[in-house]
Amino acid sequence: MASDTTPVGSAHPVIAPANTINSQLSSSLNNLSLQSPPGMNASFASANSTTAWIPDAQTNSEDSGSNSGGQPVNNGTGAQTIFLPIEERSDSGETAGIMAMQTITRDPRFSDFSLEELRLVDYTQGRKPIGAGTTSSGFSHWNLSSLSNRARVLHMQVFLLKGSSINIVVGSNTATFGKQETWCLPKDMISYHSLFFKAACSHDFKEKDEHRIILEHEDPRVFSLFVEWMIYNKCSLSSSCMFNAHLKAWVLGDKLLSAAFKNHAMKRLYDAHQIDDSSTSFVTTSMVSFVCENTCEGAKLRQFYVDFVVTHFSNPYKVLGTIEEWDNVLLDFDDMRIALFTAMRSSDQLDRVEELDFYLE
């Protein structure tokens, strides 16, 4: 059968013979379907692999537009700039608020064509999936650092909330915590943020078989901060309990092998201690004792408090407590005592507190 072409101004591409069209369309739909890119599968093997499904930057093809007859022309997606989610406001019922539209056809530049039409033109112009040709398709992966924090969190949660879940039982009905709470959380999400949970969910441990992880000796209130951080990338705390909560959060992150959660807590503590406000920037003997009892020598949190105490020990507004209280602390923890005595014998009274990055992992 001879090939026919569409008139000038048609919104559709040139039509090839039927058997060629069927072959091309089948191949394009198989190869160019919207699916999770490499690095975003259920296992999330790399905690640093942060990619999302958005178009490449500009290519050499012409922009989509209108021909001389005023009809839209489908030139595929490759000529367009980077695609970002289209945000629209909804005032109806439970969906009221800002909605992020992820589908490329919500963009006015592509709204005149279906996904299949855009993919077919991309395919015929040589824009194939990553690794399948010389020119990348408009539907490819892009580093999420190019997006806003809000868009990045939304993208990550879409992937991390999928799949099966596991029960996490935290605390105990004893005098220590007074309650026990259970969270049902997606395995992909907790595995992405914690190497401890990743091992428990993927290796042949009893937790995997029982679909339950028990953290009997952890505080449910502190674990709730970890859950909040995983979902919202932040923790909401009042200033009155911030120090104790973030100290415990860092220790929990250390047990769960979650470097990112530890860094989140460390940043909050560092900023609070460094501001020139005596109501929030002080250190007490109980805080230092808690840190030293729950960390090993050389731990980043411990190193920060050693440096802070040594630097400000002579300032009663920065380092609170009586001589007797500090004497007990120094007797219990050698590294604190040695660091303080070394500084006292030094002729240079330098600020030993390093920049924030030194205390991050």
In which residue are the tokens 């503590």 written?
269
Dist. CA 76–CA 4, nearest whole Å: 21
The closest alpha carbon to 24, from 115, 123, 138, 126, belongs to 123
Q: What is the pLDDT of residues 78-126, one digit of tens each?
A: 654 556 667 777 666 555 566 667 777 777 777 888 877 887 787 777 7
Q: What is the pLDDT of residues 309-327, one digit of tens each?
A: 999 888 888 999 999 999 9
Model confidence at 361: pLDDT above 80:
yes
Please report the pLDDT score of residue 307 as a whole number.
Answer: 93
Split at pLDDT 50, 70, 90, the class of 209 is: confident
Dist. CA 230–CA 1, nearest whole Å: 59
What average pLDDT does the segment 211-220 reach?
A: 91
Dist. CA 322–CA 270, nearest whole Å: 24
Q: What is the pLDDT of residues 34-84, one digit of tens each?
A: 344 444 443 333 333 333 333 343 333 344 455 556 678 887 776 545 566
Cα distances from 135 to residues 86, 99, 122, 123, 124, in angstroms, run 26, 32, 10, 10, 11
Please report the pLDDT score of residue 138 as a whole number.
Answer: 45
Structural domains in the chain plus CATH codes: 18-159 (no CATH), 163-359 (3.30.710.10)
Token pair listed for 287: 């805080």
Share of the chain above pLDDT 90, in %: 33
Share of the chain above pLDDT 70, in %: 61
The answer to whether the beta carbons of residues 262 and 250 sit under 8 Å apart is: yes
The closest alpha carbon to 302, from 335, 343, 344, belongs to 335
Please report the pLDDT score of residue 309 as a whole number.
Answer: 92
Q: What is the pLDDT of residues 291-300, one digit of tens each?
A: 999 999 999 9
Split at pLDDT 50, 70, 90, the class of 162 is: confident
Q: What is the pLDDT of residues 222-238, one digit of tens each?
A: 999 999 999 888 887 76
Q: Is the pTM of this model over 0.85?
A: no
Dist. CA 125–CA 121, nearest whole Å: 6
